[in-house]
Amino acid sequence: MANTVVINGDKRKFTLNSDLKLYALIDAGFVKTAKGNFNYEHPLYNDSPYNAPTKLKITINKNLEHWTMVVTDRSGLQKVNIFKNKQLAPTVELLNYILKDLEERKIIALVKD
């Protein structure tokens, strides 16, 4: 877990928003784990979420200080670079929409260089 994360293949860096509130996580669909961390999984699909080849996974620690964010395959075990394949442009568009929503909810923030 880290303070700043980069999705595999993306050039942007993200960090947790300094105004992050617990209720914002719950409203956005994060689920509290047995260890107290917060997990978020969202299928990145074009047609059906049940056939989604990739998914976005975010984990935030219970202190809301460190986190991870990756795009994985269907099983959730292998990292996937969705930016290198032009056919996955709709998937990248959906990812950008989700990230923008999380920014607007003050969960994550884009790091400006």
| Among the listed residues 30, 42, 3, 17, the one whose alpha carbon sits nearest the alpha carbon of residue 107 | 17
Task: Look at residue 80 and tell me whether its pLDDT is greater than 80.
Answer: yes
Q: What is the pLDDT of residue 110?
A: 95
**Per-residue model confidence (pLDDT) at position 49:** 66
Beta strands in 31-98 (DSSP E): 31-32, 38-44, 54-60, 67-73
Q: For 4-110, which CATH class?
A: alpha beta
Q: Tell me the pTM.
A: 0.92
Question: Which amino acid is residue 4, in one-letter code?
Answer: T
Is the torsion defined by CA of 25, 68, 65, 34 positive or negative? positive
Where does the pLDDT of residue 75 fall: very low under 50, low under 70, confident under 90, or very high at 90 and above?
confident
Q: Domain map of the chain by residue range? A: 4-110
